[in-house]
Chain A
Amino acid sequence: MIPALESTLAVLVVTILLAIPLGRYMARVYAGEECFATRWLGPFERAVYRLCGVQVEDQMDWKRYSVAFIVFSVVGTVFLYVLLLVQKGLPLNPEHFPSLSAALSFNTATSFVTNTNWQAYAGESTMSYLSQMLGLVVQMFLSPAEGIVIVVVMIRGLVGVRTKALGNFWVDMTRTVLYILLPLSIVFALVLMAQGVPQTLGPYVQAHLIAPFLHAKKEIVHQTIALGPVASQEAIKQLGNNGGGFFNMNSAHPFENPTAFTDFLGMVTMLLIPVALVTMFGDMVKDHRQTVLILGVMVVLFLPFALASEHFDLMGNPVFHHLSVTQARTAANAGGGNMVGVEDRFGAGNSALWGSLATSTSTGAANSAYDSFMPASGLVNLFFMQLGETVFGGAGTGLATALAFVIFAVFLGGLMIGRTQEYLGKKIESFEIKMASLSILVMPLLVLIGTAVAVAYASGRVGAFNPGPHGFSEILYGFTSASNNNGSAFGGLSADTGFYNTALGLCFLIGRYWSYLPLLAMAGSLAGKQRVPASPGTLAAHGPLFGGLVIGVILLVGALNFFPALGLGPIVEQLTHASIALAK
């Protein structure tokens, strides 16, 4: 019996079945076609344009599109930063939380605007309801929308012929939020509420314990239960690959993820938009072999590592066998395995699967404590992020990076054949390769230099919580997560310090803008090219052979860059673990 195989396959199958119609719908939305949604929301869409002085026909070239993207991010960052700085004096703060420090406000603002959702704070003891709603939720809609429109522009670049027109940033953003993210969130939030996720503006509740207990010589008779407008945030947190939980423990908290059913839906919704974008891509370029190629590459890279992660966590902690603890993998034992930092209602297998999905999709949500995963399972989390968030990837940014890798593979294929190659009829020349390299290579630099600096200085080293190589893994995980705009963490790292707030904040920004602006430039260059008809010398950019080449490129970049660092952390840890178990 392979661990959690049914869950893993069920999530993939259900997601793909939902993604096919969603992708087709999204292709129509970005083409500006009439459909049932435009009949309902069209008047509202046009009202937004009137109010904001936007003209639908006003086409932008890649430079203007990029500037709009950056200016919009700056406006969002400044707004969120100021909102958090003055939280104390604003309404909807029933627990009277003080304002955030400048460093934490900067870190949080850049984190949410870049779709990272790294949280150096604990939600239920830091954020007012207004900050959660008007601050964080707004960016949970806008930052994935920005990611999605980037990939839409890349696709337009591939489709367009000798043109500069790549669409209008404001129109694309409006359509993404209005026609895609908002309706999906409303439906998902309703399901979540029915399952038990709270949605209230009332203050935290005092419960009177039926069995008071003594703690530190004090009798504890009450339990304060944190509440809030959770469901509305939870829905877009998953759908937009955000991952910024309402509560400190994110999707492990019973109010964010109350049942095994919401856990399953949480996994499907993390995966839905990244997969739908791949099917949308096939629709937009009118070549469904591309959907099969990219989805195939993603699934082939995902399955073995996810199953390995589940396997190692379900094997349990070998030390516990000597402490007369049973980790038997039975239903009566809540699934068994390594239950440290795992909720009973999910079990270790589904927790490892969630971890794989959250790190491969750039969501970064957590239904368990990743820091307490078995070293090999934590390694899989790290590895998925280090592949550059390509395996599924974040909303938009995932497919964008995947396309950069595909173009890289086309280039390599061209070198082998000895002829400049085309992808979808567009010649891949030195400018495209330069931009793809810029986009792909900045992330490893950020991760490795950031980790090296943190380990070299005391202010970085004190952040590690666990002793030995695991402490190093915590720091490596932090920089990997930040630079890939993932947002998950090995929670032991004390990240709310001046050093980490600033260093990781810079990683969010560089990881986001340095990775995706070159791709917009590439889209501009591709759009300006003539379409070359296929000839016998054309590399077939589809099928298993080419898919293997793409996988090779992704693995080489991921594995070669990070193997030494992984060796110092989780790999040495897993090996020592085995030796401890043998010595006992």
Chain B
Amino acid sequence: MTAFRDLKAAMMVFLVFAVLTGLVYPLAMTGIGQALFPHQANGSLVRRHGTVVGSSLIGQYFRGRGVFWSRPSATSPVPYDAAASSASNMGPNNPALWRHVARRVQALRKANPHAHGQVPVDLVTSSASGLDPDISIAAADYQLARVAHNTGIPKARLKALVARYTSRPTFAFMGPPVVNVLRLNLAVEALRAHHRAHP
């Protein structure tokens, strides 16, 4: 008799909690999120002249001469595929990893002939998500001379822009300061257009 009662309870308790935690809870949170935080709840999208050009939280593949480059990405089929996050999963002793890093160092050196010193590690390694929206301050500095040269924007202005799009964590121990590449490049682009219109 108790066996039958417990079998019924198993079905019913599961049903009640499936509806409560699997439908009511996520749907209610969706409603609350859409009402209280519509920007964040829909992906922190960035618009330019009304069109969506990306999300401020999701990185993009930047390799032009007049933009700050983002970190390498291991997503496939294309880098920074935001519908297929992925890491390279290469172990630290994998010779393929060493070759990739060496090749990226070479490409960065060639593209940034005015940069001095060693290449910052985040610029030659792919992130965990393949969608890292940020680069380090050192990585931005490394590219400053090239972007200035190719856009005609003075280095000091660019440095100020980098500082403006650098976010520092609430408490220092919670993580390093980082530069948001999409927002930085949008600002570079806007400034460049402004320079072109008013030389």
In the complex, what residues of B have CB within 8 A of residue A133's CB? 22-23, 26
- B70-110: which residues lie under 8 A (CB-CB) from chain A? 71, 77-95, 97-98, 101-102, 105
Complex contact B174–A204 (CB within 8 A):
no
Q: Does B135 make an interface contact (CB < 8 A)?
A: yes
In the complex, what residues of A have CB within 8 A of residue B84's CB? 122, 124-125, 248
Q: Does A563 make an interface contact (CB < 8 A)?
A: no
Complex contact A252–B25 (CB within 8 A):
no
Complex contact B11–A232 (CB within 8 A):
no
Report the Cα distance A335→B61, complex, angstroms.
Answer: 23
Complex contact A466–B186 (CB within 8 A):
no
Q: Interface on chain B toward A: helix, strand, loop, or mixed SS?
A: mixed
In the complex, what residues of B have CB within 8 A of residue A339's CB? 121-122, 125, 127
A177 to chain B, nearest CB (A): 6
Report the Cα distance A573→B172, complex, angstroms.
Answer: 33
Complex contact B40–A194 (CB within 8 A):
yes
Residue in A closest to B137 when the chains form the complex, CB atoms: A332
Q: Does A548 make an interface contact (CB < 8 A)?
A: no
Partner of B101, one of A4, A169, A323: A323
Q: Does A206 make an interface contact (CB < 8 A)?
A: yes
- A197-221: which residues lie under 8 A (CB-CB) from chain B? 197-202, 204-211, 213, 215-216, 220
Report the Cα distance A319→B96, complex, angstroms.
Answer: 12
Complex contact A331–B130 (CB within 8 A):
no
Complex contact B34–A254 (CB within 8 A):
no
- Count CB-based A-B contacts (< 8 Å): 398
Point out which of B43, B136, B171 has the most chain A C-beta atoms below 10 A from its C-beta.
B43
Complex contact A200–B93 (CB within 8 A):
no
Point out which of A67, A224, A247, A334 has the most chain B C-beta atoms below 10 A from its C-beta.
A334
Interface size, A (range): 35 or more
Q: Does B111 make an interface contact (CB < 8 A)?
A: no
Report if A194-B174 is in contact (Cβ < 8 Å); known contacts: A206-B52, A372-B87: no
Complex contact A68–B58 (CB within 8 A):
no
Complex contact B7–A71 (CB within 8 A):
yes
Partner of A205, one of B13, B52, B71: B52
In the complex, what residues of A have CB within 8 A of residue B57's CB? 196, 254-255, 258
Complex contact A325–B30 (CB within 8 A):
no
Residue in A closest to B41 when the chains form the complex, CB atoms: A199
Partner of B78, one of A6, A215, A334: A215
Report the Cα distance A331→B194, complex, angstroms.
Answer: 33
Report the Cα distance A28→B112, complex, angstroms.
Answer: 64
Complex contact B12–A199 (CB within 8 A):
no
Report the Cα distance A10→B22, complex, angstroms.
Answer: 33
Point out which of A75, A343, A469 has the most chain B C-beta atoms below 10 A from its C-beta.
A343
In the complex, what residues of A have CB within 8 A of residue B59's CB? 254
Complex contact B8–A138 (CB within 8 A):
no
- Please name 16 further chain A to chain B contacts, defined as beta carbons within 8 Å, in addition to the given A10-B171, A248-B85, sorted by A numbering: A7-B173, A170-B13, A193-B29, A193-B32, A193-B37, A215-B61, A254-B58, A323-B101, A324-B118, A334-B134, A334-B176, A344-B122, A347-B175, A347-B176, A367-B128, A469-B93
Q: List 16 A-B residue pairs with CB atoms under 8 Å apart, sorted by A's residue number.
A: A134-B23, A137-B21, A173-B13, A190-B29, A193-B33, A193-B40, A199-B33, A200-B33, A208-B51, A223-B60, A226-B85, A248-B86, A338-B121, A344-B127, A369-B128, A372-B92
Nearest 3 CB-CB pairings of A with B: A260-B175, A252-B128, A369-B87
